Amino acid sequence: MSSATVLFATIVIALLVTMVLTLTRALAGPTLFDRLLAVNSFGTKTVLLIAAAGFLAGRPEFLDIALVYALINFIGTVAVLKYFELPDAGSGAYPEDDY
């Protein structure tokens, strides 16, 4: 086993441990924002995990998926938060936004 393989495996294991801890926070709450924070953090770790697992498998093409996941993760978080700031978003209550 080469040094590189051990390195990738170490990163993957560290990330998996991290993701378990993050998930406990997402399940424990207590507020909704704690869960959102945990899910956002989990998403960032997923991006890294996909990248590291791709290298571990010797197929760096997995990075495409990681790239897309990084974008979706951010957009998802901001979309949910926007809903809290403007609970009636999309109802037509903000006609000045309809360009």
Partner 1 sequence: MGDFLVGLLAWPLAALGCLFVVSGAIGLVRLPDLYTRLHAASVTDTGGTLLIAAALLLHAVFTFADPMAAIKLVLIVGFTLFTAPTASHALAKTAMLVGQVPVGADGKPLLDSPEEASRLARSRRAPEGAGDEMPGEPSARGTN
Please give the residue ranges that form the binding site for partner 1 (CB under 8 A): 2-4, 7-8, 10-11, 14-15, 17-19, 21-22, 24-25, 31, 33-34, 36-38, 40-41, 44-45, 47-48, 51-52, 55, 58, 60-61, 63-64, 66-67, 70-71, 73-74, 77-78, 81, 84-85
Our CB check for partner 1 shows the closer of 78 and 93 to be 78
User: C-beta of 97: minimal distance to partner 1 in Å?
Assistant: 18
SS3 assignment, position 99: coil
| Cα–Cα distance, 32 to 29 (Å, whole number) | 6
**Contact by Cβ (8 Å): 75, 46:** no
| Cα–Cα distance, 44 to 72 (Å, whole number) | 10
| Cα–Cα distance, 12 to 47 (Å, whole number) | 11
Our CB check for partner 1 shows the closer of 75 and 93 to be 75
Our CB check for partner 1 shows the closer of 85 and 98 to be 85
SS3 assignment, position 90: coil
User: C-beta of 91: minimal distance to partner 1 in Å?
Assistant: 19
